[in-house]
A and B are shown apart, each in its own frame.
Chain A
Amino acid sequence: MKTDKKIWDDFRKGENYALSHIYFQHVQMLFRYGKKFSHDDELIKDTIQDLFFDLIRTRKNIGETDNICFYLMASFRRKLSKSIKRKIPLEYSDSNELIAEIVYSAEHDLIDKEELSQRETAVKKALAELSAKQREILFYKFTCNFDYEQICEIMNLQYDSARKQVSRALKAMKEILSGSDMFLFFLGILSDRKNSPADSAE
């Protein structure tokens, strides 16, 4: 496998394979990411397309990266915020911030359920207490595996503030888990969708 750095450098040099490789590897992630900020699918698709047009135009001048996903998401977020503002100027006129709307799978699965166990209630409550900003930080941290420097750059945050938000969020999570030992419960929900590494070990 080639490293991100090599693929990116090949793209900058104008190697033919690199552009399609970068596109097909990241288009789903960009769409998934865009949907957090807007429900307008066409707007998201247009923004993805524009992002790649920009890359083609500026390929000779763009900088290095060893994390293509981060590079694309950071540029994508800037672009998306501009195009959303252009589309609905009034709603965003008072603030420059994009607001992510992140719904957790576990949360969603619990909505339809009529009777919740004690633990399910606790999980639901803990997740509900996470703010939009916290959710976005946790998304970068535990879905994209970015480090704090990257999270701060993408969201324009202070390092300390990002760390504090994470530790506050994790504290609540930790309490639920130590309050009960029913680990298997959630693996049941999640194993439908994911191949959790421990499932095979159990």
Chain B
Amino acid sequence: MKHQQYLNFSLEQLLEEKSFISWVLKQENNIEWENFMESNPGFRSKAKKAREIIHLLQERYDVLDENSVLEIWKNIDKYEQQYKQNVRKLKIRRRLSWAASVLLVISIGTFGYMYLNEKDQGYQFVSSGAQQSSEARMVLSTGEEIALKKDNSTIVLNDSTNQVTVNDSIVDLSEKTEVGQQKAQMNEVVIPYGKKTELLLADGTKVWLNAGSRLAFPSRFTGKIREIYLEGEACFRVAKNENQPFIVKAGNLNVKVLGTHFNISAYPSDANIETVLLEGSVAVEKPKTFGLGKSEVVLKPSQKASFIKEQNEFTVTDEPDLNLYIAWTSGWLKYDRESLWSVLRKVERYYNVEIQLPANYPGDDEITGKLDLKESLDAVMVVLADASGFEYRINENKVAIERIIKELQRK
């Protein structure tokens, strides 16, 4: 036993021994040390003195609060993305041209895939819907649940260490994933209204998940494709990997990607599923009707595909102001000639409230502006009330909107 050599150590020598210090500080090899002391009582008192000296010399220290930890990380992450983009700029032109050719190959490949998939009816979320639950949480493939305590949580999956970092705490996944499973087990993140979260998936893909949304994803991407499931709204910056296409399944749409930045809004309660492309190239595929008709559209940057669920049809439009679609990832709500209805529905999601409009209220009126979602609900409602000329009352989680009655205004 290697510990034997310590028997004749003086106190000073013991304090020069790194493995001894590691034991005192981090309980490294605790069992070996305990056993060794058990069988050598003479050594025990020496070790205790040495340990006490180390403990006496532990200093008082301060802990950096969680918000600052995340704030600094966001800046670092942003800096890295920008730095990478600057380096990449020169190469971009070349990549786009072959990106298109790779997409063609995938659409053929997915035909067979779709056929197989129709048999198992797609994916069923295990967790209850995001709308019903009030707590943001992550449900691991094992069924274990982790509460996401913050309004804006950060989740980082680490492929190589098989760990997931939730805010500051690290959860080990390694003993939980069984080897040789046929299908990748899915983890789910459920974000109720009033919250949002940022995730870094195992392949390096960044996902911003908006209020009232669910996302299912594996701990690591092992198959030929990287496949995740979305209900609600999310913005993706997909890590490029031409050998492993990335597919987002939202409602009954498939959005296939190679490495791009895009936003999908697919709330079950909304009539449309919208996909907006910021960079790169994606193909949006709808379910086929009797194998007839064109079933996918390929988007160019700054285009939006709206899938109208009822008619099973796409419309593609050019979108000059992409900021409208991704402002929420940094805590803003931007709207440009959008109906009051639609803006209020988003406010409902962000603040987890129910907004009631009187039956005869002109909710189709279009408004333009920007709301800071970091402000209180009241502050946001004041802005909207001024813009659209209504009065409102907030009562717990209900907001009642009333038309300003002309007769009352004169006083």
B63 CB-CB contact with A under 8 Å: yes
In the complex, the answer to whether A56 meets B80 with C-beta atoms within 8 Å is yes
In the complex, the answer to whether A145 meets B73 with C-beta atoms within 8 Å is no
Q: Which of B103-153 contact A (CB under 8 A)?
A: none
In the complex, the answer to whether A197 meets B33 with C-beta atoms within 8 Å is yes
In the complex, the answer to whether A198 meets B48 with C-beta atoms within 8 Å is yes
Given contacts A32-B63, A102-B59, A104-B59, A170 and B15 within 8 Å (CB-CB): yes
A43 CB-CB contact with B under 8 Å: no
In the complex, the answer to whether B161 meets A21 with C-beta atoms within 8 Å is yes
B24 CB-CB contact with A under 8 Å: yes
Report the Cα distance A194→B59, complex, angstroms. 12
In the complex, the answer to whether B23 meets A197 with C-beta atoms within 8 Å is yes
Contact segment of B50-58, B89-97, B368-376, B396-404: B50-58
Contacts of B69 in A (CB 8 A): 24, 27-28
Given contacts A57-B83, A177-B53, A190-B55, A16 and B204 within 8 Å (CB-CB): yes
Given contacts A53-B76, A56-B76, A197-B34, A143 and B62 within 8 Å (CB-CB): no
In the complex, the answer to whether A174 meets B54 with C-beta atoms within 8 Å is no
In the complex, the answer to whether A142 meets B58 with C-beta atoms within 8 Å is yes
Report the Cα distance A45→B62, complex, angstroms. 13
What range describes how many residues of B lie at the interface? 35 or more
Contacts of A135 in B (CB 8 A): 59
Cβ contacts B346-372/A at 8 Å (1 or 0 each): 000000000000000000000000000
B77 CB-CB contact with A under 8 Å: yes
Contacts of B61 in A (CB 8 A): 32, 35
Main secondary structure on B side of the interface with A? helix
- List the B residue with the shortest CB-CB distance to A105: B60
- Cβ 8 A contact of A142, one of B30, B57, B72: B57
Report the Cα distance A23→B156, complex, angstroms. 12
In the complex, the answer to whether A173 meets B56 with C-beta atoms within 8 Å is yes
Main secondary structure on A side of the interface with B? helix
Contacts of B60 in A (CB 8 A): 103-105, 108
Cβ contacts A144-162/B at 8 Å (1 or 0 each): 0101000000000000000
B265 CB-CB contact with A under 8 Å: no
B75 CB-CB contact with A under 8 Å: yes
Report the Cα distance A23→B79, complex, angstroms. 14
Contacts of B25 in A (CB 8 A): 142-143, 145
B37 CB-CB contact with A under 8 Å: yes
Contacts of B159 in A (CB 8 A): 17
A88 CB-CB contact with B under 8 Å: no
Contacts of A90 in B (CB 8 A): none
Report the Cα distance A201→B30, complex, angstroms. 11
Report the Cα distance A201→B168, complex, angstroms. 31
Chain B's nearest CB lies how many Å from the CB of A89? 26
- List the A residue with the shortest CB-CB distance to B206: A16
Which of B27, B61, B79 is most buried by chain A, counting CB atoms within 10 A of its CB? B61
Contacts of B83 in A (CB 8 A): 56-57
In the complex, the answer to whether B63 meets A183 with C-beta atoms within 8 Å is no
Sorted nearest first, the 8 A-B pairs with minimum C-beta distance are A16-B204, A31-B64, A32-B61, A52-B76, A17-B158, A102-B59, A145-B21, A173-B53
List 18 contacting pairs A-B, 8 Å CB cutoff, sorted by A.
Answer: A23-B72, A24-B73, A27-B73, A32-B61, A36-B59, A45-B68, A45-B72, A49-B72, A106-B55, A123-B56, A139-B59, A145-B25, A170-B11, A177-B49, A177-B53, A186-B56, A187-B52, A194-B55
Sample of 4 more A-B contacts, CB < 8 Å, known A20-B156, A102-B59, A197-B27: A16-B239, A104-B60, A142-B54, A142-B57
